[in-house]
Amino acid sequence: MPAPVSSTVISTASSDEKLERLKELGLDHGINYASESFVERTRELTDGHGADVVLDSVGGQNLVDSIGALAYRGTLVSVGVSSRAGSSVEAQALWAQNNTLRGVFLGGAMLTELPRIHAMIADLLDRVARGELRVEVDRTFPLAEAAAAHAYIESRQAFGRVVMTP
């Protein structure tokens, strides 16, 4: 039987306060990207190895920079573009370390794999209802204050979900 795999969770955030809050969710090491290079710090924290998996929801230059944080044969998963900027990823940057870039878009999967996605979402909702998964809700806004909710999200102050209610 193979030995259990241990994993270290490293995350970035724009403030030390957010990184502190992430500790209760399982964070091992936090990197404040506003004050230090997440690529260099990731290399330091992994003794030069790099991260086996990098999950990027920012896009733009952040996606390009994330390649430098990857381990040999690492995987970079792009799940969004909160920066609203395009990325110019040079494939050769991935080849040197035999890295993989994978895009994940739930909307596209719903178009081609609806039964699987429907079952997956139903399972996740059931797990939330049973208390097995926790959804971090930062703030709730009435629907009439949708503009304020969007402004709050764009201010990058939110920690978790922002919910609008009727």
92-144: pLDDT as tens digits = 999 999 999 999 999 999 999 999 999 999 999 999 999 999 999 999 999 99
Collapsing DSSP to helix, strand or coil, 5 comes out as: coil
CA 132/CA 126 separation, integer angstroms:
9
pLDDT of 86 reads 81
Strands (E), the chain: 10-13, 29-32, 51-56, 70-78, 100-103, 137-142, 161-165
Portion of the chain with pLDDT greater than 90, in percent: 83
What number of other Cβ atoms are within 10 A of residue 15's Cβ?
16
pLDDT of 5 reads 59
- Find where tokens 């996740």 sit: 124
Question: What is 10-104's CATH number, 1.25.40.10, 3.40.50.720, 3.40.50.800, 3.10.580.10?
Answer: 3.40.50.720
38-88: pLDDT as tens digits = 999 999 999 999 999 999 998 899 999 999 999 999 999 999 888 778 888
Residues 6+ apart with CB under 8 A from 106: 117
Residue pair 128/135 in contact (Cβ under 8 Å)? The answer is yes
What number of other Cβ atoms are within 10 A of residue 60's Cβ?
16
Domain ranges of the chain: 10-104, 109-165
pLDDT of 113 reads 95
pTM: 0.84
CA 71/CA 97 separation, integer angstroms:
7
